[in-house]
Amino acid sequence: MFLPTPEASMTSPLTFYTAVKQDAESQQKMQQIQAAIPTMRDALINSKIVHFARFVAVPNPGGQGVQAMMVITEFDESMDSYVEFFFNDPSINKAFTLIAEVSVNPPALPLNLNDFINWVARNNLSKTDDSMFSAYTQSVAQILNKFSAGA
């Protein structure tokens, strides 16, 4: 690990990648997904486990449409509990249902928790924490508590 101290980081990575179907309906749904990203902000804040999150639409060569998408996050806790938290949030569940609908290799729909966890794990390019650098070892909750105590 690249950690600056001997302590283990509490942070884990998710680099979710999936190829996107190229039909017109799927490409239209990609626009809906991208438009829905800001609506998930409250769920990310309320989770108190997400350090960073971003959505990346990988354009097709030539710039027309979307070839693939990535959801990249750094979070506290185990992958399963992290994925379960967001599965249970209506706004994020809705977005991931749309992502599943446009994915080349989707899980069975409607989404159920076990299939969703397995699908996220299969499409996670960050299988271990070994390639991740963290400048700090605190959880989001610890950081928020520290800074809200002085406010």
In sequence order, what DSSP letters do the residues of 9-35 get, joined into one string? PSEEEEEEEEEB--SHHHHHHHHHHHH
CB 119 within 8 A of CB 109: no
Of 73, 51, 56, nearest in space to 126 by CA? 73
Q: Which amino acid is at 98?
A: L
Domains and CATH numbers, the chain: 11-127 (3.30.70.100)
**26-51 pLDDT, tens per residue?**
999 999 999 988 888 989 999 999 99
pLDDT band at 11 (very low <50, low <70, confident <90, very high): confident
User: For the whole model, what pTM was predicted?
Assistant: 0.87
